Structure 1
Amino acid sequence: MAETIAPNELFDNAIEKYQAGESPAKLIPIFIDVCNKSPKLDSAWTCLSWLYLLEDKPQLAIKAALKSMKIDPFDAQTRINLAAAMLEVKQSGVREHIELAKSLVEAAPEVRAQVVANFEDGFSRKPDWASLKRIEKLIFED
């Protein structure tokens, strides 16, 4: 009898693999599985959207970010992911997502710390990520 792993455990294991340097391409199927098993787990959709961005799949990143945003419209990282994907496909409407992310980052030090860490992670994995650099500048400019 095969043991089934709970979606939260699967999610935590995938995050650990990501942090250990596993490639986004190998993690995407795991996050798709988590999202299918727990469709209301907004953090899984946000992670999936990030992985799609790292793999240069902005259209899929938009779809995942929009699903996350429906669950939690006030998640800064989801808004950043969505804005990055929209910039990459030259879609309009980016400003509202950046402005909301900026206000969330300014309002909560823990959100700011997480977003800063995510920018650093993004640039370590994709150093010339133009859309993310642009968003970082817009969020942290005075």
Structure 2
Amino acid sequence: MYSGISVLHDKKDIAKAYVGEVKALYDSLPTENGKVSFRALSSKTKVVNHIVFACIIHLGLQEQVVYDRAIHIPNHVPETLAAVRKFHSQTGVSPTVREVAIAIKRSTSTIHQDLIFLKLIGLVEYWSGMGRSIRPVEEPPVDLEELICSVNTLAEK
């Protein structure tokens, strides 16, 4: 699958907090055959399971996890990425969270969650609290459609 990705930048980053929480839980959980249960990991955190999955990818731990719970990447995540890319290519500047939300008819809180996911897997750069800081990564380490297909494959096993 994918190796760990390092795209976290600012110190007050919610994505970084999620990664820390998932790593701490991962380290505290018992293993079976050297692997941690995704169900156990995702049920002990308040983070939605696709963000937990993104944290696992970010940490490079995907081979040390047993995927015993379905992972659903919401349909609007690709829409969010497409809106960021389109806005950036058309205007040459980064969109605001509100502009992305308006473009795909979603709430700003949904866009924030999508951006955290996209940041963790290395498809966007985004600095919380900084206006117009959402940018698509020029050479992304993963393909979102490929990742979605692999998640669907994991869920079928």
| Higher relative helix content | 1
Pick the structure with greater CA Rg.
Answer: 2
TM-score norm. by structure 1 comes to 0.31
TM-score norm. by structure 2 comes to 0.29
